[in-house]
Amino acid sequence: MRQTWRWFGPKDLVSIDSMLQAGVEGVVSALHHLPTGTAWSPQEIAQRQKEIATTSSGTASGLTWDVVESLPVSEDIKRQTGDWRAHIEAWKQSLCNLHAAGIEVVCYNFMPVLDWTRTDLAYPLPSGATCMRFELPVFAAFDIHILKRDNAAESYPVNVVEAAQEIFSNMDATQIEDLVRTVVFGLPGAAENFSLDDLRYHLAAYAGLGEDGLRANLVTFLKEVAPLAQELGMRLCCHPDDPPTPLLGLPRIMSTEADYAHILNAVDIPANGVTLCSGSLGTRPDNDLPGMMERLGDRVHFLHLRNVKRESDKVQTSFYEAAHLEGDTDMVALVAAVLKQEAKRRDEGRADASIPFRPDHGQDILDDLGRKAQPGYPSIGRLKGLAELRGIISALTHTHVRGGL
């Protein structure tokens, strides 16, 4: 398992120097400043590689750009509207340019409009740490009373609608503004940062598409880009929906094992693969993460290892980002399944036997609390998670060597 770390570029408050001190082996990054639908040029890719390879003092870091996360898929591609064909050609050109730069793994997602959704970016825990949280009644209050989406109340159980009404009635203007900013929160340096009007516009553009339509559009996209990736020796890996349930009336098509199986079978080549995110998938109690790794493992090209604590046993539920060993996912069982898959790949002589992973969405602890880094990506909280994951890997590896795994 290759230890990587997400870096958002020069604006990231967690530096290359910090990654070195954390002991990571590779870097996960993207060119967030480039508009979606445009090709990533060799010059821009080389500049990011140079930034990753250099410490603040100008010396060589020894780190490389191992995984792209994410090469964005435009809303036009997802809907097959506007310039979608040109955007696919730009995506393919980006693949060629990344391959020429020596980068083989590309993570992407097919979530409509919003990449991920939370209602609190700094939820206080009893320990004094903070974390990200999705609170279903608060999100319903946003959807029904702030966004005022048509028939929004029909998307939620009666008790959630009633709770949303009470929550909204007690919110002041500042709290409403904060919630809007949280729900539409974008990545630092991203070219697209949505307002409420932008969100309404994009929601309207998806009217009538439905899950079957979006799924068909994903298959069309993959039939275009995956054969090229296969020819180049690259690996594409789709990130699951986050959270993996319908939101804002939008279709969600990458939320379960069955969703992944459909897409992998529809474009059945090794380059078409999975980003197994234990946090996103783990918010559904019907997703068996170790079992998914067992059954889909030969097509898992990238891992996000994080944990969440569900606040009910419903598929649509509130949850918060737990410490890596404290949530509802059995992280030891999941890592054991990963190591088993890696051993299988080594026996088969696969060049991708070591699967890159990153510790995802750490809690803000200690000095993180005053740094205001990208929510979910503090330095110390992620280092704690990485250390815990290293401990699992080391223990299981030694057990295997002694014949116990």
- pLDDT (tens digit, 9 = 90+) per residue, 247-263? 999 999 999 999 999 99
Instruction: Read off the pLDDT of each residue in 293-308 and give the average, rounded to a whole number.
Output: 98
* Mean pLDDT score across all residues of the chain: 95
Instruction: Read off the pLDDT of each residue in 58-77 and give the average, rounded to a whole number.
Output: 96
For residue 187, is pLDDT > 60?
Answer: no
Q: How far apart are CA 361 and CA 306, in angstroms?
A: 6
User: What is the C-alpha end-to-end distance of the chain, expressed in Å?
Assistant: 16
The contacts of residue 104 (CB under 8 Å, 6+ apart) are 233, 234, 235
The owner of tokens 């060629």 is: 96
What region does 361 belong to: left with phi over 0, alpha with psi -120 to 50, or beta?
A: left
User: How is the beta sheet containing 319-322 ordered, strand by strand?
Assistant: 120-124, 130-134, 319-322, 307-310
For residue 399, is pLDDT > 80?
Answer: no
Q: How far apart are CA 9 and CA 281, in angstroms?
A: 27
Q: What is the pLDDT of residue 189?
A: 46
Q: How confident is the model at residue 192 (pLDDT cuts 50, 70, 90)?
A: low
The contacts of residue 176 (CB under 8 Å, 6+ apart) are 146
The owner of tokens 């005022």 is: 148
Alpha-carbon torsion (360, 365, 369, 370), positive or negative: negative
Q: What is the pLDDT of residue 68?
A: 98
Q: How far apart are CA 82 and CA 88, in angstroms?
A: 12
For residue 198, is pLDDT > 90?
Answer: no
Nearest partner of 328 among 352, 303, 349, 311, judged by Cα: 311
Instruction: Read off the pLDDT of each residue in 43-53 and give the average, rounded to a whole number.
Output: 98
Q: What is the pLDDT of residue 403?
A: 54
Q: Give whole-number Cα distances, 251 to 111, 152, 214, in Å.
A: 8, 14, 7
Q: How far apart are CA 47 and CA 396, in angstroms?
A: 38
Instruction: Read off the pLDDT of each residue in 58-70 and give the average, rounded to a whole number.
Output: 96
Q: Give whole-number Cα distances, 356 to 26, 301, 319, in Å.
A: 8, 7, 26
Q: How confident is the model at residue 402 (pLDDT cuts 50, 70, 90)?
A: low
Which residues are annotated as catalytic? 239, 277, 304, 360-361, 377
Q: How confident is the model at residue 115 (pLDDT cuts 50, 70, 90)?
A: confident
**DSSP sequence for 278-306:** HHHHHTSTT--HHHHHHHHGGGEEEEEE-
pTM for the full model?
Answer: 0.95
Q: What is the pLDDT of residue 184?
A: 86
Q: What is the pLDDT of residue 373?
A: 87
For residue 79, is pLDDT > 50?
Answer: yes
More confident residue, 190 or 95: 95
Instruction: Read off the pLDDT of each residue in 364-387 and give the average, rounded to a whole number.
Output: 94
For residue 401, is pLDDT > 60?
Answer: no
